[in-house]
Amino acid sequence: MAGEAPESTLTPVPLMQLSTGFWAFKTLAAATELDLFGLLESRDGLTSGELAGALAIAERPAEMLLTGCAALGLLEAKHGRYRPSPLASVFLIRGRPYYFGGFVEMLDRRLYAGWAHLVKAIRTNRPTTWDPGRQRSLFEGEDEAMLTTFWEAMHSLSTFTARALAEAVDFSPYERLLDLGGGSGAFDIELCRLYPHLRASVYDLPTVTPLAARKIAEAGLTSRVETLEGDFFAEPNLPGGHDCVLLSMILHDWSEHDDRQILRKCYEVLPSGGLLVVSELLVDDAKTGPPAAALMSLNMLIETVGGRNYTAAEYAAWLDETGFDRLRTVRFEAAGANGALLAYKP
């Protein structure tokens, strides 16, 4: 009835937060592109007027950028001078060991435009960041600078995910790890640091292994981590001699059919008692979340032909049908994954 107070206390505030989410990202992306955090660190903080002079811009946008980054927890202000927050100081200054800006740059330069055409991807069931009719994969035809940005981004994302995985899964019983599609070798570097007895092999395409070799050399682990060139679809067999196989952030790139092929090859190459670790951002079995996994799945819609983020139950069913036993799921929280399935070859 007219004049009655509404029963619901709902407000559009959550929708406002969802709708304007890109404002925060683009603020971070702009600051990263301008190397704002490195500049502020090198000058021991700047005022808006000093930043305007350093960047040769007007003071109005300089002040707005500083205020926006401070509101996001990326800067701290004292007496009108802005400095990087501890978070930005560790992860957003170029040249630092755990620089995360490469991931921000990759999202801004590659994925942001693809997400602008999400409806097209939904209607066509085709990626929007590359053309499957002209390329064999999302990497073919990409310029070298973009690929470098991509792999540097993945290295940063993977480093801390590897640490979370190492704390959740005990790798001490195993001596030789095969990291399938291991990219830059971030997982192998971190796992070998945490497990001094472990030796590892990074298996990936010839275009990727030189980056892994460089990262491994920088970490001082060339005596324990090797690179192996190959294509896990094209090669009939995977490299042998390993008692543990890792699939980290790999299976979400591919269709169920392709994933089953990969799991079969992993099963065949492992010895009896060998361990397979599938580490992913897992969608919950009810397929209602969590947000990171659900939205990453949509990212696979714009980036891949058949990939998506799967549930632990889906992976468990495929692993069981492949022949693995003693299946279990361990949960953890990291930027690149929220859990891992462990499966053993009888």
In a domain, 240, yes or no: yes
In a domain, 187, yes or no: yes
Question: What is the identity of the amino acid at 307?
Answer: G
Across the range 303-307, mean pLDDT stands at 95
Across the range 30-42, mean pLDDT stands at 97
Q: Are residues 183 and 318 in the same domain?
A: yes
DSSP letter string, 231-267: -TTTSSS---S-SEEEEES-GGGS-HHHHHHHHHHHH
In a domain, 304, yes or no: yes
In a domain, 113, yes or no: no
Output phi, psi for 141, to 5 deg.
85, -10
In a domain, 340, yes or no: yes
* Domain limit, last residue, from 45, 61, 91: 91
Model confidence at 142: pLDDT above 80: no
Percent pLDDT > 70 in the chain is: 93
Model confidence at 1: pLDDT above 60: no
* Domain limit, last residue, from 65, 91, 117: 91
Q: Is 79 a catalytic residue?
A: no
Q: Are residues 210 and 324 in the same domain?
A: yes
Q: Are residues 184 and 307 in the same domain?
A: yes
H helix intervals, 43-143: 48-55, 59-71, 86-91, 101-106, 112-115, 118-124
Q: Which residue out of 155, 197, 252, 257 is catalytically annotated?
A: 252
Question: What is the identity of the amino acid at 212?
Answer: A
Q: Which residues contact 336 (CB under 8 A, 6 or more apart)?
A: 157, 158, 160, 161, 248, 249, 281
Q: Are residues 175 and 38 in the same domain?
A: no
- Structural domain containing residue 282: 156-344
* Domain limit, last residue, from 36, 60, 91: 91
Cβ-based neighbour number of residue 234 at 10 Å: 7
Is residue 163 within 8 A of residue 140, CB to CB? The reply is no
Across the range 145-157, mean pLDDT stands at 73
Interatomic CA distance for residues 35 and 25, integer angstroms: 15
Q: Are residues 86 and 160 in the same domain?
A: no
According to DSSP, the β-strands at 199-204 and 176-180 are parallel
Domain count, the chain: 2
What pLDDT does 248 receive?
Answer: 97
Q: Are residues 202 and 54 in the same domain?
A: no
Residue 55's pLDDT band, with cuts at 50, 70 and 90, is very high
Kindly report the CATH number assigned to the domain that includes residue 179.
3.40.50.150
Q: Are residues 76 and 174 in the same domain?
A: no
pLDDT digits (tens, 9 = 90+) for 234-277: 999 999 999 999 999 999 999 999 999 999 999 999 999 999 99
For the record, the structure tokens of 286 come out as 């009810």
Q: Are residues 160 and 82 in the same domain?
A: no
Q: Is 183 exposed, middle or buried (0-12, 13-18, 19+ CB in 10 A)?
A: buried
Residue 196's pLDDT band, with cuts at 50, 70 and 90, is very high
Kindly report the CATH number assigned to the domain that includes residue 85.
1.10.10.10
Q: Are residues 160 and 86 in the same domain?
A: no
- Provide the β-strand partners of residue 244: 177, 275
Q: Are residues 78 and 161 in the same domain?
A: no
* Three-class DSSP labels, 167-195: HHCCCCCCCEEEEECCCCCHHHHHHHHHC
In a domain, 243, yes or no: yes
In a domain, 146, yes or no: no
In a domain, 293, yes or no: yes
pTM of the model: 0.91
Is residue 267 within 8 A of residue 237, CB to CB? The reply is no
Q: Are residues 74 and 176 in the same domain?
A: no
Q: Are residues 200 and 308 in the same domain?
A: yes
